[in-house]
Structures are given as structure tokens and as C-alpha cells.
């Protein structure tokens, strides 16, 4: 059996996506040890070496790719798996097209542990500033406010996208989503077939041995230094507004608790650059440490295990923290963060647009003092999530 994993921007400097890929490969191999696995990625040579898979170009994402080659590869495989992440809301039209092409070729299609926010990506489905928005604004003004063509156009785009999702997903051979909230969102699109509620594939990631990781010496020293270690990550895709409030929280943690602020980028390029700038603006930059360079997901997980608390707008750093029972604080970047926090009895401390810095500070202090209670709850939640994932894996084995 030849299985193609894709529909996610693998190989694009996202540690969370690479953790998903590593774990999905393990899951597929456990279900079908004899399968030949191909991965659609922008980092072919490294992915092939690390995972022992065949690679093909990253289909569906910029820069331009060959649609003819994509169609040929989908037809040449027995199964296409849309292999995770939050693509049902972030970039649905890309993997949906891949599903439809594979289905048209008579191939099996599987939606595997994909998540969906409660709103589609505003960067794709909103009318952004430009000539079209200016024209629609002029029409609205000319109608005296009786018409709202911008809202009408945005609703049209969302209806179209949801209709495409429903058509492709209803025709799939197996549909597994990451959480119950994603299942409800899919049903709201018009999906009427069975939906299995699984969990994120990255939950089975295992930490690497930090002794062999090529960490900068100053960073390695910080992991064993005095004072609590507060891990932090903010996505550069949607940075936190009013950064001065965030830096003030760092300064209070250093002043009142002697904390070390450990910046853990989930994108080694963009996140790292942003957080290096935050560190430089601290009153005590010597108490801030940025993990610079490229690391495997297992190495990032091992670093996360050394933290006392982790705050993040990146979902997968929160998932990593939960694996090693480190208390988490979420900063919302779409409903996926609150969906993940809900089983822990937690809510985010606001969004990247409107972060409640007082709540962030108070929650950090609370969790530093109540780690044991979180650990107990975290282990129970992890057991529930792994149980859902085991059920999904059994469904996958049957359909393969």
C-alpha cells in the first residue's frame, strides 16, 4: 500500500507541524507496517533522512507548484491522508482540493486528526484593504449605509469554503478530528457522515535526551540555574499587541520571583527574531534566554520539560507542556487554544489582540505555587486524550 501524507505545510519551519508529521508516520507504520509512505513537504531531503520516507513537493502552498504533478502523485498512491493541524479553518481549500482529486481518481481518502477553529482564517476570508475593499466601501457609502457589501462578500466566501469542505469530507473514507469542538464546526459546514473525535497526533511525541542536543552553553546553563523557569512563546504570524505590557510581566517575574524567562520559538526563524527583540527590552535581559537555532520536536519537548510554567500563543507548545505535565497558560490565537485548555478547567488570558496582562501575571504566579495540583489534573486529561487517540488509531487500522 502506498500512502501519501499531506495537506499541511510540512517543512516550513513550524515545530508543531513537524511534531505532527513525525507522530503520524509512527501511527501509520503501526497500522500498516508494510506501507510505503510518501510525504508532501518543503524540506524533502531532511524529512526523508529523519523519517525514512519518500518525499514529494509541498503541494498546495506558495511558492507555485505543479498541479499536474500533484494530481499524478495523488493518483499514484492508494491512500491520501490529510495529516493534521488546524487546516479545516486555516487553509481549507488546499487539502480539500487534494481530497477531491484523490477521490476522483478512485483512491481512499482520510481526514486525520485535523482541527477547526470557530472562524475561518480572516487573512483568507475577509476583504482586506485594497482596491476591492475600497470599491465595496464606496458602494456602501453610496447606498447611505443601507447596503453592506463587505459583509455580504465575506459571508459568500465563508459559505463557499464550508460547502467545499462538506463535499470533500462527506466523500472521505474516514474522518477523524482533533477535538469535539472541531466535530461540531464540521457538522455546521454540512458534514453528515460519521466523525470520530480523536486527539492531536503530537501527543505521542517523546522527549529527546538533552545531553546530546546542541544547545547554546548559556541556554543550557539557564536550564539548571537558580529560580523558577517560565517558558514563553508568541507566534510572529500574529504578534501580541501592546508588547510593553508583556515585557512588564517578565520584569515583575524577575524582580519578585527571581525567574528566568526562557523563550522557546516554535518557528526558529520568525518567532526567534521576535522574541530576541522582547528579551532586549527587559530591564534584566541577562535573565532572559532565547533558544536560537533549529531543533527537532523531541528536543523542544525536552526543553519544555525543564520549565515550571509555560505560556504560549502557539498551540503545540501547550501540547508539549501537557505531555510532560508542565502547567500551561494559553494566549488565544483562534479558538483552538481555548478548545485545548477546556479539559484542564482553564481559559486563555485573552487573545494576541487583547491580552489581559494582569491575568497573565496572576496566573503565572498561581501556577508557580500550585504545580502539584496541575500535574494531577494534567495526567488525568492526558489519559482521556490518549484514549480518544487510541480509538481513532483503531479506526484508521480498520480502514487501511
Could you give the residue range(s) of every CATH 3.40.50.2000 domain in the chain? 2-204+385-399, 210-369
pLDDT of residue 53: 98
DSSP secondary structure, 353-387, as one string: SSB-HHHHHHHHHHHHH-HHHHHHHHHHHHHHHHH
User: 4 pLDDT band (50/70/90 cuts)?
Assistant: very high
Domain 2-204+385-399 has CATH 3.40.50.2000: yes
Q: In this structure, are strands 36-40 and 328-330 parallel, antiparallel, or unpaired? A: unpaired
Question: What's residue 280's pLDDT?
Answer: 96
Percent of all residues in the chain with a pLDDT value above 70, rounded to a whole number? 100
Contact 148, 156 (CB under 8 A): no
What is the rounded CA–CA span in Å between residue 115 and residue 321?
A: 19
- Out of 84-88, 132-136, 193-197, pick the least confident: 132-136
Q: Has residue 186 got a pLDDT over 90?
A: yes
Coil vs helix vs strand at 298: helix
What does the pLDDT read at residue 181?
Answer: 97
pLDDT, greater one: 150 or 27: 27
Nearest Cα neighbor of 31 from 59, 54, 5 is 5
The string of pLDDT tens digits covering residues 340-357 is 999 999 999 999 999 999
Beta-carbon contacts of residue 66 (< 8 Å; ≥ 6 apart): 57
Using 50, 70 and 90 to split pLDDT, how confident is the model at 138? Answer: confident
pLDDT recorded at residue 149 = 86
Give the pLDDT confidence of 71-107 residue by residue, as tens digits.
999 999 999 999 999 999 999 999 999 999 999 999 9
Check whether 49 has a pLDDT greater than 90: yes
Give the model's pLDDT for residue 218: 87
How does the average pLDDT of the chain come out, rounded? 95
- Work out the number of other CB atoms within 10 angstroms of the CB of residue 133: 15
What pLDDT does 25 receive?
A: 98
- Chain segment 246-293, per-residue pLDDT in tens: 999 999 999 999 999 999 999 999 999 999 999 999 999 999 999 999
pLDDT score of 330 = 97
Q: How many CB atoms lie within 10 A of CB 314?
A: 26
For residue 147, the model assigns a pLDDT of: 86
pLDDT of residue 334: 87
The number of beta carbons lying within 10 Å of the beta carbon of residue 304 is 25
Residue 207's pLDDT is what? 96
Position 190 scores a pLDDT of: 97
Burial of residue 149 (CB within 10 Å: 0-12, 13-18, 19+) is middle
pTM confidence score? 0.94
Q: What is the pLDDT of residues 100-133, one digit of tens each?
A: 999 999 999 999 999 999 999 988 888 888 888 8
- Alpha carbon separation from 18 to 23, 73, 324, 399 (Å, rounded): 9, 21, 18, 25
Taking the domain 210-369, which CATH number applies?
A: 3.40.50.2000
Of 139 and 158, the structure prediction assigns the larger pLDDT to 158
Amino acid at each position: 500500500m502506498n500512502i501519501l501524507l499531506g495537506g499541511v505545510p510540512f517543512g516550513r519551519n513550524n515545530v508543531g507541524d513537524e511534531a505532527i508529521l513525525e507522530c503520524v508516520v509512527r501511527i501509520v507504520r503501526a497500522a500498516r507496517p508494510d506501507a510505503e509512505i510518501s510525504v508532501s513537504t518543503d524540506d524533502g531531503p531532511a524529512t526523508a533522512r529523519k523519517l525514512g520516507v519518500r518525499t514529494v513537493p509541498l503541494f498546495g502552498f506558495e511558492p507555485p507548484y505543479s498541479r499536474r504533478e500533484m494530481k499524478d502523485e495523488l493518483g499514484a498512491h492508494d491512500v491520501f491522508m490529510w495529516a493534521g493541524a488546524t487546516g479545516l479553518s486555516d487553509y481549507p481549500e488546499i487539502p480539500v482540493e487534494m481530497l477531491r482529486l484523490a477521490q476522483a481518481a478512485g483512491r481512499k481518502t482520510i481526514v486525520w486528526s485535523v482541527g477547526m477553529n470557530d472562524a475561518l482564517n480572516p487573512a483568507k476570508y475577509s476583504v482586506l484593504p485594497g482596491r476591492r475593499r475600497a470599491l465595496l466601501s464606496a458602494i456602501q457609502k453610496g447606498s447611505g449605509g443601507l447596503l453592506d457589501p463587505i459583509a455580504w462578500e465575506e459571508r459568500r466566501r465563508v459559505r463557499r469554503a464550508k460547502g467545499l469542505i462538506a463535499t470533500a469530507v462527506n466523500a472521505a473514507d474516514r474522518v477523524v478530528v482533533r477535538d469535539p469542538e472541531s466535530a461540531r464546526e464540521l457538522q455546521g459546514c454540512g458534514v453528515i457522515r460519521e466523525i470520530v473525535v480523536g486527539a492531536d497526533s503530537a501527543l505521542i511525541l517523546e522527549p529527546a535526551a538533552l545531553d546530546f542536543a546542541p544547545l547554546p552553553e548559556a541556554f543550557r546553563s539557564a536550564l539548571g540555574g537558580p529560580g523558577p523557569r517560565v517558558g514563553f512563546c508568541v507566534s510572529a504570524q500574529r504578534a501580541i499587541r501592546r508588547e510593553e505590557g508583556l515585557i512588564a510581566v517578565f520584569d515583575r517575574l524577575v524582580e519578585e520571583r527571581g525567574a528566568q524567562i526562557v523563550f522557546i520559538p516554535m518557528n526558529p526563524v520568525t518567532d526567534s527574531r521576535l522574541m530576541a527583540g522582547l528579551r532586549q527590552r527587559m530591564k534584566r535581559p541577562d535573565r532572559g534566554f532565547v533558544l536560537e537555532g533549529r531543533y527537532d520536536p523531541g528536543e523542544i519537548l525536552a526543553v519544555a520539560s525543564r520549565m515550571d510554567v509555560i505560556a504560549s500563543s502557539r498551540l503545540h507548545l501547550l501540547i508539549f507542556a501537557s505531555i510532560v505535565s508542565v502547567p500551561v497558560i494559553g494566549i488565544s490565537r483562534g479558538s483552538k487554544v481555548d478548545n485545548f485548555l477546556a479539559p484542564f478547567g482553564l481559559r486563555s488570558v485573552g487573545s494576541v489582540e487583547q491580552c489581559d496582562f494582569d491575568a497573565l501575571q496572576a496566573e503565572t504566579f498561581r501556577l508557580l505555587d500550585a504545580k502539584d495540583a496541575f500535574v494531577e489534573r494534567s495526567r488525568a486529561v492526558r489519559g482521556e486524550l490518549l484514549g480518544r487517540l487510541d480509538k481513532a488509531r483503531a479506526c484508521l487500522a480498520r480502514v487501511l
